[in-house]
Structure 1
Amino acid sequence: MDDRERDIIDDIGGLISEERSLRDRSTRELGLSEDEKSRLRTVEVRLDQCWDLLRRRRALSEFGKDPSTAEVRPAEEVEGYQS
Structure 2
Amino acid sequence: MDNANQEILDHITDLVGMERELRERSTGKLGLDEAERARLAAVEIQLDQCWDLLRRREAKAEFGGNPDDVRTRPAAQVENYEN
The answer to whether the superposition gives a TM-score over 0.5 is yes
What are the Cα deviations for residues 19-62 of structure 1, in whole angstroms up to 9, with x where unaligned? 00000000123210000000000000000000000000000011
Taking structure 1 as the reference length, what is the TM-score of the superposition? 0.96
Q: Percent identity?
A: 53
* Distance across 1 between alignment mates of 2:54 and 2:70: 9
Q: How does 1:1-83 map to 2 (within 5 A)?
A: 1-82=1-82
1:59 maps to amino acid: A
2:6 maps to amino acid: R
Gaps of 5+ in 2: none
Gaps of 5+ in 1: none
Number of residue pairs the alignment of both structures matches: 83
* Distance across 2 between alignment mates of 1:29 and 1:3: 42
SS at match of 2:6: helix
Question: How large is the RMSD of aligned CA atoms in angstroms?
Answer: 1.0
* Distance across 2 between alignment mates of 1:63 and 1:2: 16
Taking structure 2 as the reference length, what is the TM-score of the superposition? 0.96
Moved over 6 A (4+): none
